[in-house]
A and B are shown apart, each in its own frame.
Chain A
Amino acid sequence: MNHLTDLPVWAAIPVCILLLLGSAITLAGSMGLIRLKTFYGRLHAPTLGASAGTILICLASMITFAVLQNRWIIHEVLIIVFVILTTPVTLMLLGQSALYRDRIEGSNDVPRKATGEDADTSAADI
């Protein structure tokens, strides 16, 4: 990682700020996994890392390598796009399975299905 010392100070400062902010937000999200007590609350915590954390760290990476190699580097944008496109899939899967299980167990904390009786059949063909 010696070439990182070639980074001029004017670029190093924003890169450091972005990196520290991004990792602090991701850390806060991970702390949320411990601190929040319900499963549904915990669903929210990792999205901190998936949205702001990813964006800030990718920005830092873009600036670093753009300055070091002296050209525009924008393919990190793809990481941001793909992370944002794919996180809903896992989140919805986790959320729906939790919801399904809570309903089967008859938990009172979850809202009933609007259509009532056919909760089982409609959940099967999702």
Chain B
Amino acid sequence: MRYWFPYPLLSLSLLALWLLINQSLSPGHIVLGTMLGIAFAWVMVNLQPDKTRLKTFGRIVILTGHVAVDVVRSNIAVMSVILRTKTRPVNSGFVAIDISLRDENALALLACILTATPGTAWLEFDRQTGVLLIHVLDLQNGQNWIDLIKRRYEAPLKEIFE
């Protein structure tokens, strides 16, 4: 089974992608999409990505909800910072965070989350020391940001991936 379907989740998402792009649920497209999904999963085997297993699906739902709320909140926050630059000086700065995540996929997801929420930008991750350097646009208290990212993102990601 593992031999024929090395990455079942990837194959399924490729099938979904194919059906979405073609906007149809006809049997022909389902067959073609399934074949493409399986074929590209074999290609992935040659790329040898880190194998990770998703542990808890409930956690994924909660994390997605948190991220959605944060995207809305930080969009409003960054917009108000930009619109008020004339009256209030921008107080931005760097924050270094000790991250204990080592799984590549979890780190990639963390990068997507930090980038999708405006106001935080991922700058550098040191694999040896595990220090993540981010830049924060509206920096009031650096420790608050460290706690927020560790509690809200790192802990659930660790639970999901490791």
Interface residues of A (CB under 8 A from B): 25, 28-29, 31-32, 35-38, 40-41, 43-45, 47-48, 50-52, 73-75, 77-78, 84-85, 87-88, 91-92, 95-96, 99, 110-111, 113-115, 122
Given A28-B82, A45-B82, A52-B71, residue A40 in contact with residue B117 (CB < 8 A): no
Given A48-B79, A75-B20, residue A95 in contact with residue B123 (CB < 8 A): yes
Cβ contact of B85, chosen from A35, A47, A75, cutoff 8 A: A35
Given A44-B137, A85-B112, residue A52 in contact with residue B92 (CB < 8 A): no
B39 part of interface (Cβ distance < 8 Å): no
Query: B82 to A31, Cβ gap below 8 A?
Result: yes
5 examples of A-B residue contacts, CB within 8 angstroms: A25-B79, A43-B121, A52-B72, A88-B122, A95-B124
Q: How far is the CA of A108 from the CA of B91 in the complex (A)?
A: 17
Contacts of B137 in A (CB 8 A): 36, 41, 44
Query: B118 to A51, Cβ gap below 8 A?
Result: yes
Query: B116 to A87, Cβ gap below 8 A?
Result: yes
Query: B111 to A88, Cβ gap below 8 A?
Result: yes
B1 part of interface (Cβ distance < 8 Å): no
Query: A48 to B78, Cβ gap below 8 A?
Result: yes
Chain B facing A: main interface SS: mixed
CB distance from B97 to the nearest CB of A (A): 12
0/1 string, B103-140, CB within 8 A of A gives 1: 00000100110111111111110101101010101000
Cβ contact of A91, chosen from B83, B117, B121, cutoff 8 A: B121
Q: How far is the CA of A29 from the CA of B74 in the complex (A)?
A: 13
Nearest first, the 3 closest Cβ-Cβ pairs linking A and B are A32-B82, A52-B75, A47-B118
Contacts of B122 in A (CB 8 A): 88, 91-92, 95
Q: How far is the CA of A74 from the CA of B22 in the complex (A)?
A: 11
Contacts of A111 in B (CB 8 A): 94, 96, 133
Query: A29 to B128, Cβ gap below 8 A?
Result: no
B23 part of interface (Cβ distance < 8 Å): yes
Given A43-B121, A43-B135, A87-B116, residue A92 in contact with residue B111 (CB < 8 A): yes
Given A87-B115, A110-B94, residue A99 in contact with residue B124 (CB < 8 A): yes
CB distance from A96 to the nearest CB of B (A): 6
